[in-house]
Structure 1
Amino acid sequence: MTTTAPLKILIGADTYPPDINGAAQFGHRLAQAMHERGHEVHVVAANPDEKKTEDRVVDGIVEHRLFSYRPPTHPYIRICTPWGIWAEVGRLLDRVRPDVVHVQCHYIVGRVLVLQAKRRGIRIVATNHFMPENLDPFLPFPRWFNDAFARFSWGDMRRILERADVVTTPTPIAAKAMKESGHFRRPVIPVSNGIQSSDYELHANESIPSDPEHLRIFFAGRLAIEKNIDVLIEAVSKLPQELNTVVLEVAGTGEILEKLQAKATECGVYDRVKFLGYVSDEELRAGYLRADVFCQPGTAELQSLVTLEAMSASKPLVLANALALPHLVREGENGFLFEPGNSSDLAQRLAQVLLLSPAERRRMGTVSHEMVKKHAAQKTWETFESLYTSNELYDRFVAGLDRS
């Protein structure tokens, strides 16, 4: 339970379950955690089912689902239009009268909530889970246009998020990236997405069926361009001969599935790449536990919840040396970093782990498990509760920056 008086919290999410991605997952976990801690929780998000606005209660959380559309560039994401939800969001804030609005993005739902909450003097906490590059798959335009849009998006992000009382992002590296974009004038405080490690640990007397014939590489996440899964598939084809029975398991769905299947065929490893599709929480946990190494080749990760989950399951890591991923690796101790986009380097790093003895891989996994403790979910929820009521924690953070 919470150590603060119960609050009325309204979470604004541009992506929320049934969407499958890290930001949607975090928004859902945040809502559940705050409800379990005794707060009244409301969520504002696009309606995934029909072109209508409706309210519903799911596991004690009030979901306000807004009239939305499916863009032609994505198979499942739904989007709202600012003009389509402006009045409804205003009426919703007047009806619910939240103590705090916590937006997870600045694009549409987050944008309208920030502007409408600011008008009403409601406290605003804003968390940035996105990099402008995350939009590339949805912008079917030339590279020069997408680069120009990314620069605009950084400025737009600042114009919206700096209206909030506090701005957070999952990692120090992500906060640094926001600062170095040249747009953010106020400090951004890093607050981990948090992880409940016990959800991914082996239970007492639980064992994972062994398969001495096949070592396993595991990837979990949305099948999207910026995840660079094609690089991982190519790396599997470049593993040394003694690892020619290694299996790559890919858990997740997304817009580039057919392209990845074609890539596996082109590389001659289609029989060793298992596309698992959407998996339940139980199946995802089992995937981590049976894996010999977890790989995240993505280059736009502001934290990577799936990597924290793999670390909780005590797995060695091979991660792209990009954005927030390097701070999850102690080189040679719990895994390795590879040059982003370089399938040969990735193959070499994967081989370094897979050619170890099982005992050596377990030792690396133990280091991963120890490292993930600082991302304990309990600390994350307590931090946000503090930020929901005052700027004290934020002011201490800024004071620490000034002293450094």
Structure 2
Amino acid sequence: MSVAFDERAPLRLVEPGRHRVVDVALFYGERSGGIRTYLNAKVAYAQRTGAFEHRLVVPGTQRDVSGPTCALPSVRVAPNNGYRWPLGIRPLADLLVELEPDFVLLHDPFWAPRAAVTAARSVGARVVMVHHGSLDLDVNAIPGPNRLYRPALGAWMRRAYGHVDAVMAACDPLGDTGREATLPLRFGLDPAFFPSGGTERGDHVLYAGRLSREKGVFELLEAAARSSEPWPLWLMGTGTAENAIAARARKLGVADRVRMVGYESDREALARAYESARCVVMPGELETFGLVAFEAAASGASVVACTSAPSARVVGPLAETFAPGDIEGLAAAIERARAGVPDRLAAARFASAHRWEHAFAAELADLEAL
């Protein structure tokens, strides 16, 4: 349910037509994953089609609201992925009032959610909290015993989600936030993610994503150690656990099979990296969607994903799956994917059916229904 509070102004009626949509995203780093991909695609879609007026608000080095992406002052807090922390609450609240949006989408519950909701409501906007994470994912990303901060983080999320008009999610947010998903969070594909037909498969297994504990990389190393065939493992990305991953690989005796290949931002290069791998593995059981499996399947790659990832259900037979926490099942799924032949025709059909244009047109219709 939506919890009202004293500061709430009457919502103005939104007439059909060209609406003003503002996305607010704290976790928008140079090397962040699905959130940045979604938001960049949305900026491009709005500019290309003119379907709605769009502004993206993110932390930056200084205030700059001259273009479609608005930056507010912040400090860098995570060099590996470029995450920044905003300086104060007032700059965001003032900007939302200045922009006079019809809809505000908050992509996390941590950037002054109460002030943002109050400011948005003061100009008659509807506010949607977009659920990209989960309590398990967030607490596992923080070093130390999570029993100390899990209750506080859970309480914060419930308060933040309690004051918005709707929740948008690809997974079930009820247990973490006390709110059901009102709107589906849809993802799409860049045209680059399409089988080329001319890329030769290598022998390596590819992981692409943040190098951190909560993404399942350590479980992937365990599966590599248990495999009967010593396949090469390529890790594409950066993150805070790089040194710990290297140490675990040495301990498991697979260091000579592991290759760090760095973060790749170019869509065409990433699609060909997917397609040229013997298989692409998304080992995390805490994924709240799992864009890597989605993109890799559309590129014509053999894919392995955990059954708990929403994208595994979307991809369907284009992926081999394993149960959460099942290292032997992960190793077996990798062997099946390595041995199989990708169905490039099915991949092409999948890619064509899941373009960003379809996702954003449906999202706009959902917002208008509010």
What's the TM-score once normalised by structure 1's chain length?
A: 0.78
Residue 231 of structure 1 corresponds to: 219
Q: Offset of 1:141 from its aligned partner?
A: 3.8
The C-alpha deviation readout for 1:38-74, integer Å capped at 9, x for no partner, is 1332111111xx3x333353xxx2x221222334797
Residue 331 of structure 2 corresponds to: 347
Q: Offset of 1:13 from its aligned partner?
A: 0.9
Q: Offset of 1:382 from its aligned partner?
A: 0.6
User: C-alpha root-mean-square deviation of aligned residues, in Å?
Assistant: 2.7
Residue 247 of structure 2 corresponds to: 262
Aligned equivalents of 1:132 and 1:106: distance in 2? 11
1:201 is aligned to 2:194: yes
Say whether the 8 Å CA contact 2:101–2:120 is kept in structure 1.
no
1:8 is aligned to 2:20: yes
Aligned equivalents of 1:321 and 1:149: distance in 2? 29
Q: Pick the aligned partner of 2:361 from 382, 392, 400.
A: 382
Which residue type is aligned with residue 10 of structure 1? V
Residue 320 of structure 1 corresponds to: 306
Q: Offset of 1:24 from its aligned partner?
A: 2.1
1:309 to 1:110, Cα distance in 2 relative to 1, 3 A? farther
Aligned equivalents of 1:147 and 1:92: distance in 2? 32
Q: Offset of 1:136 from its aligned partner?
A: 2.3
Residue 85 of structure 1 corresponds to: 89
Q: Pick the aligned partner of 2:174 from 156, 172, 179.
A: 179
Say whether the 8 Å CA contact 1:317–1:329 is kept in structure 2.
no
Aligned equivalents of 1:386 and 1:275: distance in 2? 42
Say whether the 8 Å CA contact 2:26–2:108 is kept in structure 1.
yes
Residue 184 of structure 2 corresponds to: 190
Which residue type is aligned with residue 208 of structure 1? T
Aligned equivalents of 2:47 and 2:369: distance in 1? 20
Say whether the 8 Å CA contact 2:283–2:305 is kept in structure 1.
yes
Residue 145 of structure 1 corresponds to: 148
Q: Pick the aligned partner of 2:297 from 311, 314, 320.
A: 311
Query: Which SS does the other structure have where 1:46 is aligned?
Result: strand
1:202 to 1:55, Cα distance in 2 relative to 1, 3 A? same
Aligned equivalents of 1:368 and 1:267: distance in 2? 35
Q: How many percent of aligned residue pairs carry the same amino acid?
A: 20
Residue 5 of structure 2 corresponds to: none
Query: Which SS does the other structure have where 1:9 is aligned?
Result: strand
Query: Which SS does the other structure have where 2:292 is aligned?
Result: helix
Query: Which SS does the other structure have where 1:55 is aligned?
Result: coil
Q: Pick the aligned partner of 2:318 from 326, 329, 334.
A: 334
Query: Which SS does the other structure have where 2:364 is aligned?
Result: helix
1:146 to 1:338, Cα distance in 2 relative to 1, 3 A? farther
Query: Which SS does the other structure have where 1:145 is aligned?
Result: coil
Q: How many residues end up aligned between the 2 structures?
A: 353
Residue 362 of structure 1 corresponds to: 342
Residue 66 of structure 1 corresponds to: 72
Residue 168 of structure 1 corresponds to: 168
Aligned equivalents of 1:92 and 1:388: distance in 2? 21
Which residue type is aligned with residue 362 of structure 1? P
Aligned equivalents of 1:146 and 1:302: distance in 2? 21
Say whether the 8 Å CA contact 1:216–1:292 is kept in structure 2.
yes
Say whether the 8 Å CA contact 2:215–2:283 is kept in structure 1.
yes
Aligned equivalents of 1:222 and 1:112: distance in 2? 31
Q: Offset of 1:32 from its aligned partner?
A: 1.8
Aligned equivalents of 1:312 and 1:329: distance in 2? 9
Q: Offset of 1:259 from its aligned partner?
A: 1.0
Query: Which SS does the other structure have where 1:219 is aligned?
Result: strand
After TM superposition, the structure 1 = structure 2 runs for residues 205-284 of structure 1, keeping only pairs within 5 Å, are 207-209=198-200, 211=202, 215-240=203-228, 243-244=229-230, 246-281=231-266, 282-284=268-270
Q: Offset of 1:156 from its aligned partner?
A: 2.6
Which residue type is aligned with residue 318 of structure 1? V
The C-alpha deviation readout for 1:295-317, integer Å capped at 9, x for no partner, is 11112212111111001112222
Residue 400 of structure 1 corresponds to: none
Aligned equivalents of 2:21 and 2:279: distance in 1? 39
Say whether the 8 Å CA contact 1:99–1:122 is kept in structure 2.
yes
Q: Pick the aligned partner of 1:31 from 35, 38, 43.
A: 43
Aligned equivalents of 1:158 and 1:229: distance in 2? 30
Aligned equivalents of 2:58 and 2:308: distance in 1? 30
Unmatched runs of 5 consecutive residues or more in structure 2? 1-15
Aligned equivalents of 1:229 and 1:187: distance in 2? 29
1:116 is aligned to 2:119: yes
1:139 to 1:334, Cα distance in 2 relative to 1, 3 A? closer
Aligned equivalents of 1:291 and 1:179: distance in 2? 37
Query: Which SS does the other structure have where 2:148 is aligned?
Result: helix
Residue 12 of structure 2 corresponds to: none
